[in-house]
Amino acid sequence: MYKLDISKKAFDFIKNLQAKQFKQVQIAILELLKNPTPHDSKALVNYPNLFRKDIGEYRVVYRYDTEVVYIMLVDKRNDDEIYKQLKRLS
């Protein structure tokens, strides 16, 4: 099982979700610790080693190595906004 490293930005977003959405995102993130490449995750275009997993109306952007899953960003599934935020992180 992998360890979890979550960015402050992602953590702050998740903690402000309503209970139902919080639980959905939390379960999806915990599942990534068991298998960081589930069948419904996709590699991000133009961002090597970054992946996305969609959970309802939310998207988790993450990367992983041999021991740790790094949750970089959690936000609404708005591709333009997600990519803008990723550019700011780079």
Q: What domains lie within the chain, and their CATH numbers?
A: 3-89 (3.30.2310.20)
Burial degree of 75 (CB within 10 A; 0-12, 13-18, 19+): middle
- The pLDDT tens digits of the residues spanning 1-39 come to 899 999 999 999 999 999 999 999 999 999 999 999 999
Alpha helices for 1-90 (secondary structure H): 8-15, 19-34, 79-89
d(CA 90, CA 77): 20
- pTM of the predicted model as reported, rounded to 2 decimal places: 0.89
Check: CB of residue 52 under 8 Å from CB of residue 64: no
- The pLDDT tens digits of the residues spanning 31-57 come to 999 999 999 999 988 888 999 999 989
